[in-house]
Structure 1
Amino acid sequence: MSVKQPLNHYRRFSIAPMLEWTDRHYRYFARLMSSQTLLYTEMVTTGAILFGKGDYLSYNEEEHPLALQLGGSDPLALAQCAKIAAERGYDEVNLNVGCPSDRVQNGRFGACLMAEPQLVADCVKAMQDVVDIPVTVKTRIGIDEQDSYPFLTDFIDTVSATGCDTFIIHARKAWLNGLSPKENREIPPLDYPRVYQLKQDYSALNISINGGVKTFDDMATHLEHLDGVMVGREAYQNPYMLAEVDQRLYGMEKAVLSRDAVVDLMLPYIERHLQQGGRLNHITRHMTGLYQGVAGGRRWRRYLSENAHKAGADCEVVLAARASIQQA
């Protein structure tokens, strides 16, 4: 697909960058269900792009609109990577200022950068200077004991002074010491009103909210106050929710794809992947939640989990998994 609207149109709903999860296979799968969702890559570090042996930027053309999330804190390296991303056709570059993992902190990027707003501004400016696509920032509402509203607004003031006008705010602070990344997604309390206040005080900025968003009712509430919602785990673990996004959030009049239709549309993609030497479970691991909440859905999940990793596994495994749903 091509991007036919301004990128802010698509920002109304986006899927969060999630390590190990939002790879190109998941993004293709998600795009089948929603043409309007803004998709994000997993976080890719500047070191992986500049010095890694693999191609960390490959994607399917169908994934547009597509944003690359970068991890790094060196303005020069980030500028190099942003330039490569633009040349490769990405629609946006996003800087990770939200990830709290030890590995990220040791690399001096992620949430710990909230404590260095001028460095973040320098990074953003360096990327803006070499690309024409939007450069955006995903961050938290605070870190450790630095979680006051003035701390957050100082960060926004400093970074937005570069001309950066789009921020995705995870409505939890991050504890950089003592909590795992998983715990940082669950233990620090959500503070949605703080993000709403940010939009009130910075009405010219495009602000999306992330964290704990699960239902369309949740989204409707947030969209009364903000420009966009970013959904993470729910969009992965219950992916069929995406089949209603275009209709419910973008007002499109089109039929909702059935789960079975989604599977049928995935089969040619799976076949191509297998012909290129890929393995079935590279793709089906992202599809196990498709029948969540449906009678027999556990059989689908179990069949894929037990069989998709086997040597020679092909589309017949997917069809057999679907057939197992109907079994008594």
Structure 2
Amino acid sequence: MKTKPNNLDQHARLSVAPMMDWTDRHCRYMHRLMSSQVLLYTEMVTSPALVRGGARHLLRFDAFEHPVAVQLGGSDPHELAEASRMCCDEGYAEVNLNVGCPSDRVQSGRFGAVLMEHPDLVAECVAAMIDVSSVDVTVKCRIGVDDQDPHQVLPAFIETVSKAGVKRFTIHARKAWLQGLSPKQNRDVPPLDYDLVLQIKRDFPDLHISVNGGITTLDQARGFLAAGLDGVMIGRAAYHTPDQILLGADAEIFGGAGRKTTREVVDEMRPYIARHLTEGGKLNQITRHMLGLFHGCAGARGWRRTLSEGAHVDGAGLEVLDDALACVQNQGETAASA
């Protein structure tokens, strides 16, 4: 078993949300170059895919990504336990159970946000996961679903699941509407209730509570931490404008070293990209995650266009990255001024 980092509660002061099709291993490698401290998450991996589908390759990651957590989706306690054992064997620092995804595909598998309606089943699942895991087992949930009253449902859910052994929760501060709204609408339409998440922390002071949903700046993150929450999880903003979130995180959230520049990050990605190409990978498998770099800089549009148009071409190599970099006019630009 690979060595795993400790002190995840501290790293979880700021984390990057698990996002399907986005937070793959290439994305996480770049994010780790930008911050040594933030807690990174995989895309959701379903326990049926691992246990019944033989898809263990989905757990592949680079040790450089640490601290990195894996998010599982499922609702069968025995299957989730077996999947958790696999994740621990692969060396992940945390196993997280998804109780928040509202997509139709997830609902049909009876996991994700629909599990908010079944707290006893969630408790049974996490108890089985904890029993076989050598790392933290955590839960990411919503404040409720459909016609549930979050002020009644969420405290009861947290109490039930925490009694099963979970000590760290990330709460997406929106309801999930399982009928009538798309997953995209579920990220924006239901109103945010940050006050409820803050109340959960007051009601359960011994639990580590992180907030997720609608957070787009480090200033907001610092505000939630100052208000008493233990952590903040940022999703789309960390992906689309990673320089503005991740390059400042170590200094502003963790009190660590200062920032790199976006150009330094690109330079540090070059050996990783070269290795990926040598192994038969495609350039756009990595550079699609780099489009948000240089956001707000002169030449950012050319950077995005050059990568978008050139990286998918058969045989595309580092010369495409060089051409894109040449489009960025303000060579001294840093995340602070981006």
Paired position in structure 1 for 2:9: 8
Asked whether 1:288 is paired with 2:284, we answer: no
Asked whether 1:273 is paired with 2:276, we answer: yes
Q: In the TM superposition, what is the alpha-carbon distance from 1:50 to its structure 2 partner?
A: 1.9
Paired position in structure 2 for 1:303: 306
Paired residue type of 1:209: V
How far apart are the structure 2 equivalents of 1:168 and 1:148?
15
Matches within 5 A, 1:1-328: 5-52=6-53, 54=55, 55-224=57-226, 225-241=228-244, 242-252=246-256, 254-326=257-329
Give the SS at the match of 1:138. strand
- Conservation of the 8 A alpha-carbon contact between 1:209 and 1:229: yes
Q: In the TM superposition, what is the alpha-carbon distance from 1:4 to its structure 2 partner?
A: 5.2
How far apart are the structure 1 equivalents of 2:13 and 2:28?
17
- Conservation of the 8 A alpha-carbon contact between 1:82 and 1:131: yes
Give the SS at the match of 2:69. strand
User: 5+ residue gaps in structure 1?
Assistant: none
Give the SS at the match of 2:79. helix
How far apart are the structure 2 equivalents of 1:195 and 1:30?
27
How far apart are the structure 2 equivalents of 1:36 and 1:138?
20
How far apart are the structure 2 equivalents of 1:218 and 1:2?
33
Paired residue type of 2:291: T
Paired residue type of 1:247: A
1:8-53 CA-partner distances (Å, limit 9, x unpaired): 0101000000000000000000000100010000000012112335
Q: In the TM superposition, what is the alpha-carbon distance from 1:3 to its structure 2 partner?
A: 5.7
How far apart are the structure 1 equivalents of 2:233 and 2:297?
25
How far apart are the structure 1 equivalents of 2:319 and 2:53?
35
Give the SS at the match of 1:129. helix
How far apart are the structure 2 equivalents of 1:263 and 1:321?
11
User: 5+ residue gaps in structure 2?
Assistant: 331-338
How far apart are the structure 2 equivalents of 1:68 and 1:88?
10
Tell me: CA distance 1:2–1:265, structure 2 relative to 1, closer, same or farther (3 Å).
Answer: farther
How far apart are the structure 2 equivalents of 1:286 and 1:11?
22
Q: In the TM superposition, what is the alpha-carbon distance from 1:326 to its structure 2 partner?
A: 2.7
How far apart are the structure 2 equivalents of 1:131 and 1:188?
35
- Conservation of the 8 A alpha-carbon contact between 1:172 and 1:188: yes
How far apart are the structure 2 equivalents of 1:4 and 1:44?
21
Paired residue type of 1:279: K
How far apart are the structure 1 equivalents of 2:149 and 2:301?
42
How far apart are the structure 2 equivalents of 1:110 and 1:121?
14
Paired residue type of 1:35: S
Q: In the TM superposition, what is the alpha-carbon distance from 1:2 to its structure 2 partner?
A: 7.0
- Conservation of the 8 A alpha-carbon contact between 1:21 and 1:286: yes
Among all aligned residue pairs of Structure 1 and Structure 2, give the percentage whose two residues are the same amino acid: 55
How far apart are the structure 2 equivalents of 1:134 and 1:4?
11
Paired residue type of 2:133: V
Runs of 4+ aligned structure 1 residues displaced above 6 Å come to none
TM-score (norm 2): 0.94
Moved more, 212-221 or 107-116: 212-221
- Conservation of the 8 A alpha-carbon contact between 1:147 and 1:173: no
- Conservation of the 8 A alpha-carbon contact between 2:5 and 2:67: no
Q: In the TM superposition, what is the alpha-carbon distance from 1:162 to its structure 2 partner?
A: 0.9
Paired residue type of 2:320: V
Q: In the TM superposition, what is the alpha-carbon distance from 1:90 to its structure 2 partner?
A: 0.4
Paired residue type of 2:59: L
